[in-house]
Each structure stands twice: as structure tokens, then as C-alpha cells.
Amino acid sequence: MVRLAIIGAGFMGSMHAEVYSQLPNVKIAAIVDERGEKAKSLAEKYGAIPYLSADQVFAKSDITIVDICLPTFLHKEFVIKAAEAGKDIICEKPIALTIEDAKKMVDACRKKKVRFMVAHVIRFWPEYAFIKRNYDQGRYGKLITITCTRLSPRPTWGWQNWLLDNSRSGGALFDLHIHDVDFILYLLGQNPVSLYSVGTFSQEEGYTHVFTTYNFPGGITAFAEGGWDMTSNFPFEMKFIAQFEKAVVDFDSTSTPTLTVYYADGRVERPQIERKTSQVSEGNISDLGGYYFEINYFIDHVVHNKEFQIITPEDAVNSLAVVLKELESLKTGKIITF
């Protein structure tokens, strides 16, 4: 039985807890949150012990895994503390707000020889995993272009409204848009040759809407739009359209079915996607599927001491580096080359 602690009892901590409760041989031993009522409520739901301080959990030798679901600006501090306590770690994305902090986190985990995975959940999301698998197999021929879209109302559910504080979250660029940046890099297995970004900026909230064009080797063009400045009644949506030589793959989270493949020969295929609905009421999404596959992968690889392949710490650092290149383009108005 693996015993773990979740640090942060907000939306993401609640999503992760729901997944762990469905996995065999996993016990949520502790829930940590400085908001005592939050920690107590989530702990009672899953038979765990609530704590106000992570230090109390780090001192417990029977807890071997720590799941860090804290605001981004706290990731470095708590990942390093967990590593120094000898805990294996899964930490929410993005890894950090600066490359310097991200590298210190990776170095600390490597030095203490603990497992470290950053939760870039879109790599595990069924529709995105579908296109990655078929791209790698060459099923639809050469990829010509892919467009990814991620739109949301303003995320007002965060602790102390941290998501809307640019200094703590990095704004939509770092917290929302990075999902599609990371997936595009994962899909193509390489960095772009160049990129160009434009967006909408708020002094307090940072970039609230970003549009980026990427040019990749081999003539592949990618485009990603991410924004959380939509009206409060606008439904959260994520989409992609991938144009291949032999087919167009269309995903829209607001449609039923969500995924359709349009073949050049006239055939239409609607692959069946496994759905897992979450009971968590906060946040902007109720589909538990990607989180389930992600966390199951993490636990399996830690328990059986297997190397992470779908997402490595270095991948997370690289995705952050590309987002920082986008920030440079946004600020300078220039095309950025790699």
C-alpha cells in the first residue's frame, strides 16, 4: 500500500484526490492546506488526516509520495522541501515561473534521487493521446498543420484569487496556454524553428489572451490560442484541428462526440473515447479522464521503478522555456528564433 499526501485542497487537489481514491493499493494518508476547513473537508471525504503544515507531513517516514497542488509561485519551495525529505513527487504544471527555479527543482530531485513528474495532463488526455499515437505511427501521412485552442472564463476560484495575479501565476500565458504549447512540443518531438506571439495584456493579470504561430522543421506550421478573458457564461472549451496528408482530425470538447476523423477518401470515423466524470464542483472542467490516466501512470512508474517517458522533468523545463520565448515575442513584437 502506497501512502501519500496531497498538499493543496483546492480544485486540483480535489481532482487528484478523486483519482487516488479509485486506484488500488493507494492510500491518501494526509491532506495539507493552511485553510483548515478545506483540509478537513477533503480529508474526511477520503479518510485522511488533515494538516495545516506540509512540514508535519515531510517528517512522516510512512508517507512516501507527495502531490503538490499549490499555486505556481510556491512550487519551487515545496518541491525542494519534499525532495530533501526523500519523497517522490508529482507537481502541478507549470513547473515554475523561471528557468532558474525550474532547474533548481530538477537538480534537488536528482541529488536526492527521488522521482519527480510535472503534471502536464494534456499529454494524457484521451483525444490528445489519440492524435499523438496516430502521428507517431504515421497513420494519416505527413502532418501539415495543427491548430490548438483553449478558452475559459476568468478563473476566479483560486485561493486568494492567485490565478489572476500575474506575479503568482504568470497569467493565462503560463497557466492556461502552456497546456497547448507543451502538447505541440510533445506531439512533434522537437522545438520550433521560430515563433511569433500577439496577445491581450493587463497590468495586474498579465497576458489574458495569447495567439502564437510556430514554424517547425519540415514545413510544419502550428498555431495555438489560449485565453481566460471570456464572459462568465462562456463554457470552457479546448479544441484542435490537425490537417494531415490523408485526413483531418477534429477535436472539440463541447461537441458530442468530441473527436472526428475526416479522411481524404470520404470516410468519416468517430473514435470512441473513454469518459470519466468528476464530482468536483470547482474549476473549469469536470472530465476526470486525463487526470486519471496521468496519475495512474505516475503511481505505476514510481511503484515499479520505471523511467518516465511520456513526460520528464526536462520536458517541463523546455515547455516553460518556449513559453518564455513567447513572452519575449509578446513584449518585443518580434519573431523569435531558436
Position 207 confidence tier, pLDDT thresholds 50, 70, 90: very high
SS3 229: strand
pLDDT above 70: percentage of residues in the chain:
96
Residue 209 · residue 175 · CB < 8 Å:
no
* Per-residue model confidence as pLDDT tens digits over 218-245: 999 999 999 999 999 999 999 999 999 9
pTM of the model: 0.95
* Per-residue model confidence as pLDDT tens digits over 285-296: 557 889 999 999
Cα-flanking dihedrals φ and ψ of residue 219, to 5°?
A: 80, 10
Residue 314 · residue 327 · CB < 8 Å:
no
Cα-flanking dihedrals φ and ψ of residue 164, to 5°?
A: -95, 15
Q: CB-based contacts of 256: which residues, under 8 Å, 6+ apart?
A: none
Could you give the CA distance from residue 34 to residue 225 in angstroms, rounded to a whole number? 35
Query: Nearest CA to 18 among 289, 297, 259, 242?
Result: 289
pLDDT of residue 288: 80
Query: 269 pLDDT exceeds 60?
Result: yes
Cell numbers for 55, please give them: 512540514
pLDDT mean over 119-140: 97
Domains of the chain: 2-119 (3.40.50.720), 122-337 (3.30.360.10)
Could you give the count of Cα atoms lying within 13 Å of 200 in the half-sphere of its Cβ?
9
* Amino acid present at 318: N
C-alpha distances (whole Å) from 336 to each of 99, 188, 196 are 18, 19, 6
